[in-house]
Each structure stands twice: as C-alpha cells, then as structure tokens.
C-alpha cells in the first residue's frame, strides 16, 4: 500500500473498486445519463426528487475534501457538466440543487466524490 498525502492507494490484485467505479465500469448496472473519458452521470437508485442524477469522476477521489491541486481540471470539467446535464434533464428553467455530501456529519455514504443534481420540485432551505 502506498501512502500518498491524505489517502492510501492500494495497488495490484488487492485494489478494491468503489461502488461508483464499478458502476462507471459497467460492472454494476445503473441508468446512465452521460459519460465521457473523465466522468459518468447516472440516476440515483433512491431518488429524492423527480430528477436525481449523480455525477461522478472516474477517478476515485474519496471526497471534495480529499481533492488535490492536480484535480483542478477534472473538478472544472465536472462543474461544467452540471449545467449541461441539468439542461438536458429539463431543469434549467425551474432550477435545481447540487449537493456534495462530505464525511459523516453530512451523511456521505459512498466514499467516492459525487455531485447530486436534484430537481423537478421546489425545495426547502436550510437542508435537514
């Protein structure tokens, strides 16, 4: 195991994919709405609104807190894809919410950076 910064990276046969890597690699089925060489977007299995898409980089960054300077271009790519996907999902006019849960207090359940794109109904603020 190689210790690199805040994360630990495993190599070789012992390397375990995250759930979202398995979805990106089509080892676990999901309703894909977008994919390119850097990221995938698919429908959340437990949607909290009429539209609930998860936008996920193929690179298994555990969370936004673990992102590094070398990820800057990838993060910019994801930000631009948010708008593109929201428009394709018909959310541009009514608006939508983006959420990145980070860590236990925020209720992050999958340790692979992902952006929730949620829309199709009105929402409350602050969130619970």
Residues that bind ligand 5GP (CB under 6 A): 19, 28, 30, 42-46, 54, 101, 107-110
Nearer to ligand 5GP, 1 or 45 (CB): 45
Q: Would you say 16 or 70 has its CB closer to ligand 5GP? A: 16
User: Which position among 52, 77, 112, 114 bears the catalytic label?
Assistant: 114
Closest separation in Å from C-beta 112 to ligand 5GP: 8
Nearer residue to ligand 5GP within complex by CB, 3 or 114: 114
Active-site residue, 114 included: yes
Q: Please state the three-class secondary structure of the chain as a single string.
A: CEEECCEEECCHHHCCCCHHHHHHCCCCCCCEEEECCCEEEEECCCCCCCEEEEEEECCCCCCHHHCCHHHHHHHHHHHHHHHHHHHHCCCCCCCEEEECCCHHHHCCCCCCCCEEEEECCCCCCCCC
Q: Active-site residues: which are they? A: 114
């Amino acid at each position: 195991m190689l210790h690199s910064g805040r994360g630990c990276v495993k190599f070789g046969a012992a390397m375990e994919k995250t759930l979202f890597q398995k979805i990106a690699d089509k080892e676990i089925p999901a309703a894909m709405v977008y994919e390119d060489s850097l990221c995938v977007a698919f429908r959340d299995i437990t949607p909290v609104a009429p539209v609930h898409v998860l936008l996920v980089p193929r690179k298994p960054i555990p969370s936004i807190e673990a992102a590094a300077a070398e990820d800057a271009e990838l993060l910019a790519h994801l930000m631009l894809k948010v708008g593109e996907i929201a428009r394709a999902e018909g959310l541009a006019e009514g608006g939508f919410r983006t959420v990145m849960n980070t860590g236990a207090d925020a209720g992050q359940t999958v340790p692979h950076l992902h952006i929730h794109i949620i829309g199709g109904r009105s929402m409350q603020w602050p969130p619970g």
